[in-house]
Amino acid sequence: MAGNGESQLGLYGERGSGKTHLLNATARHARDQGVRMQVYDALELVGFDAESFDGYEDCALLAVDNLDALAGHADWEAVFYRVINRCRTGGLRLLYSLSTRPSRLDLALDDLRSRLQWGLMLELPRHDEDSVRDILARRARLLGLELSPEVLSYLLTHHARGLDAQMAILHRLDGASLSRQQRITIPLIKQTLAETGC
């Protein structure tokens, strides 16, 4: 986020590849560095009026997860066409995620497709179980949690193995651990996930 790096960075990959996790971790790092920023999920943005969107006017970094959710919404496509143009003038940096490469998006505005390809694009591979285990353990440590090998094995054996699903479970367990002042154990996992219907 410092220096003269890319003004536009896109992440793409299939569900469970860790796009949201990486985007949020990058955004958190930027915030820790004092970067003025905003983070949005395009799945939520489509429910609002595009013309009133000014969430990036006073920030240095705009991070948008699931940007492909705006495909086919001409008003939102026009907004992000303008956002990318602003990146080119040096007034903003854009970090976004997609489920596929920009060339495959079904966009009403062809110029947006080409602009999405201007910046650096990184394809994220789907993580195997060992990668998910490592990422989950690292993310837990960042939250101040320690997951034993038995807990990690339990989570990956008894629940969806995708990174997105495991991160959502970790978020619930973090809250339960804090509120009960307990470390994360298999009984705590069973109780917490039974209470939340998972």
Q: Give the model's pLDDT for residue 107.
A: 92
Q: Give the model's pLDDT for residue 94.
A: 92
Rounded (10°) CA dihedral 53, 23, 124, 8: 60
- Domain shared by 117 and 19, yes or no: yes
- Domain shared by 100 and 135, yes or no: no
pLDDT tens figures, 140-177: 988 889 999 999 999 989 888 777 788 889 989 999 99
Q: Could you tell me the pLDDT band of residue 1, with boundaries at 50, 70 and 90?
A: very low
Q: Give the model's pLDDT for residue 55.
A: 64
Assess if residue 75 is contained within a domain.
Answer: yes
Q: Could you tell me the pLDDT band of residue 45, with boundaries at 50, 70 and 90?
A: very high
Assess if residue 1 is contained within a domain.
Answer: no
Q: Give the model's pLDDT for residue 4.
A: 60
What phi and psi, each to the nearest 5 degrees, are found at residue 143? -85, 0
pLDDT tens figures, 107-143: 989 999 999 988 889 888 777 788 888 888 988 988 8
Assess if residue 2 is contained within a domain.
Answer: no
Number of compact structural domains in the chain: 2
- Domain shared by 133 and 113, yes or no: no
pLDDT of residue 50 exceeding 70, the answer is: yes
Section 62-69 average pLDDT: 94
- Domain shared by 60 and 86, yes or no: yes
Domain boundary among 123, 143, 178: 123
- Domain shared by 166 and 82, yes or no: no
- Domain shared by 29 and 98, yes or no: yes
Domain boundary among 123, 153, 180: 123
CATH of the domain at 158: 1.10.8.60
- Domain shared by 84 and 143, yes or no: no
pTM to 2 decimal places: 0.66
- Domain shared by 137 and 116, yes or no: no
CA 95 to chain centre: 10
Assess if residue 3 is contained within a domain.
Answer: no
Q: Which residue has the higher pLDDT, 29 or 150?
A: 150
pLDDT more than 70, % of the chain? 95
- Domain shared by 28 and 102, yes or no: yes
pLDDT of residue 3 exceeding 60, the answer is: no
- Domain shared by 52 and 81, yes or no: yes
Residue-averaged pLDDT of the chain: 87
What phi and psi, each to the nearest 5 degrees, are found at residue 2? -105, 160
Give the range of the structural domain holding residue 138, as residue numbers without chain letter: 129-195
Helices (H), the chain: 19-32, 42-45, 74-88, 110-116, 129-142, 149-158, 163-180, 186-195
Residue type, 191: Q
